[in-house]
Structure 1
Amino acid sequence: MLIASYRHLSMAGWAWPNFRPVELACKCRWHGCRGEYWQEPVFLDALEALREKVGRAIRNNSGHRCGVRNVLVGGAAKSRHRRIAVDISLSGHDRHAVLEAAIACGFTGIGGTPAGQRAGAGALDASSRGPGPSDESAGI
């Protein structure tokens, strides 16, 4: 579900202790974007499970993107970031262990960048299994 700003989301009953909406919301604040956020509990369950399997903090480099932000970063027109996806830093993590954990948690659409391409830190795009951004729903 798209929420105009993560600030409009009630934290009452928030079930994901290792992540906050501000981390997963659009960061551009351009052209009226006020931290647009896509709420997808199944995705968040999987992300929390991934963090537990990895056993330490996961740094999120990019989450949901509004249309303007997606264009500014060169994202694909049907990027899963237009709904819910994350790019996470693999710096300090065993890439293979994170990949295996992501697959075990139900993530698909997994990709990475070569070591060193982002100042020595890799990234993992972990998007939920299911329909693409133009479809009605997505889930793991």
Structure 2
Amino acid sequence: MAFYQHWRNVPKRVWSWPSFSPAEIACRGTGKILINEDALNRLQDLRTILGKPMIVHSAYRSPEHNRAVGGAKASKHMEGTAFDISMANHDPASFIAAARKAGFQGIGTYPRSNFIHIDTGPGRAWGDPFPARASSFALDQAPARERLADSRTLKGGGAASIGTVGAAGIEVAQQTLAEAQGAIQPLIGHLDTLRWLFIALALGGIAITIYARIDDWKRGRR
């Protein structure tokens, strides 16, 4: 085992678990990290068995942080042998079976907080059962690219461009007709109305583009 006052101090040469980073395993309250090679080897094995990413809520806890969060006095987290894993992208039953296969014998289930505690301590189990789920989660797939034809940003930008060009074109036509013979002067009023319609189209397109960008930003923050 190796202890570091902060996860940033961990040399790259000693970190052998490619699916995880020192920041994920370090104490959430202090940044300190205790590297337990055996436990991390099992965690990496579990990641390989599952074949999909694991979201680590909590791993090592310094004694002071463990007290602050109300952890057990002899919590395995302080030994670097316990991990709390989110069930956001895992089926709980399948996860528990895989965890036991990887060598984790301590299993605690927390359905209200949607995570499962696993540790390398003696065989034991506690907590409430997770409610049955309609189906197991599918394997992760690469996110599909947004089709350009369906992009709200492009649609809004296109409308803004059309409106801007149209309004400018009408203004040029008005100026040209104003210099023409009086017989076609009545058309100028209609063209003025059309010009305002193009301006409204341009403003609407700009509004759609701004809304789409803000909405996409909010989704990315979730």
TM-score range, shorter chain: 0.7 to 0.9
Q: Deviations over 1:59-114 (max 9, x none)?
A: 00001111221112110111011111110001121111100000000001111112
User: So what's the TM-score if we normalise by structure 2?
Assistant: 0.51
**Counterparts of 1:124-139 in structure 2 under 5 Å?**
124-129=116-121
Partner of 1:5: 6
Report which of the two has the higher share of strand: 1
Cα distance in 2 for residues equivalent to 1:82 and 1:55: 28
Q: Deviations over 1:106-138 (max 9, x none)?
A: 001111112xx12xxx211111236xxxxxxxx
Partner of 2:179: none
Which letter maps to 2:119? S
Partner of 1:21: 22
**Counterparts of 1:29-68 in structure 2 under 5 Å?**
29=30, 35-68=31-64
Higher-Rg structure is: 2
Query: Where does the alignment leave 5 or more consecutive residues of structure 2 unmatched?
Result: 123-222
Deviates further, 68-77 or 6-15: 6-15
Cα distance in 2 for residues equivalent to 1:68 and 1:14: 25
The structure whose RCO (Cα within 8 Å, separation 6+) is larger is 1
On the 8 A contact 2:4/2:33 being kept in 1, the answer is yes
Cα distance in 1 for residues equivalent to 2:49 and 2:11: 27
Which letter maps to 1:80? K
Which letter maps to 1:75? G
Cα distance in 2 for residues equivalent to 1:81 and 1:129: 11
Query: Where does the alignment leave 5 or more consecutive residues of structure 1 unmatched?
Result: 30-34, 131-140
On the 8 A contact 1:106/1:129 being kept in 2, the answer is no
Which letter maps to 1:98? F
Which letter maps to 2:16? A
Instruction: Give structure 1 regions of 4+ aligned residues with deviation exceeding 3 angstroms.
Output: none
Report which of the two has the higher share of helix: 2
Identity of aligned residues (%): 32
On the 8 A contact 2:105/2:119 being kept in 1, the answer is yes
Root-mean-square deviation (CA, aligned residues, Å) is 1.4
Cα distance in 2 for residues equivalent to 1:65 and 1:47: 17
Cα distance in 2 for residues equivalent to 1:94 and 1:16: 23
Partner of 2:95: 98
**Secondary structure of 1:87's partner?**
strand
Q: Deviations over 1:7-30 (max 9, x none)?
A: 22111252211001110101113x
Which letter maps to 1:20? S
Q: Deviations over 1:20-59 (max 9, x none)?
A: 1110101113xxxxx1111111111110110111110000
